[in-house]
Amino acid sequence: MSAGGHIVDMMNRIRKNAALKVSRRNKFKGNNRKINFSKKEQPKPEYDFPEISISKLKLIKTKIKEEARKEYRKQHIYWLFFAIGVFVIFMIFNYY
């Protein structure tokens, strides 16, 4: 019976874990939290966002889309040149 120590150790761990579960449950029962929120209504912050017309909003959206399209093209051109450069370097080292 060489497994007796292992079984006793397992039983002790189960017992300790069960004790932890009980204490963990008690934390959330009742009103034992340190933060107490008052029932008063907190004043909501006032923000002054500028009003914008629909036509200006459409103009801004098209401008942002155009800038994104240009950036997308620019990135593709960079990657194309990079790929061509890697291919040329590969060809040079492979054949010379």
What residue type is 66 in one-letter code? E
How much is the pLDDT for 81? 97
Task: Give the integer Cα–Cα distance in Å for 62 and 76.
Answer: 21
Q: pTM for the full model?
A: 0.42
| For the chain, percent of residues with pLDDT exceeding 90 | 42
Which pair of structure tokens corresponds to residue 91? Answer: 């060809």
pLDDT tens per residue across span 5-47: 788 888 888 888 877 776 666 566 665 555 555 666 667 778 8
Task: Give the integer Cα–Cα distance in Å for 84 and 96.
Answer: 18
**Strands, DSSP E only, in 1-96?**
none
More confident position, 2 or 52: 52
pLDDT tens per residue across span 36-83: 556 666 677 788 888 899 999 999 999 999 999 999 999 999 999 999
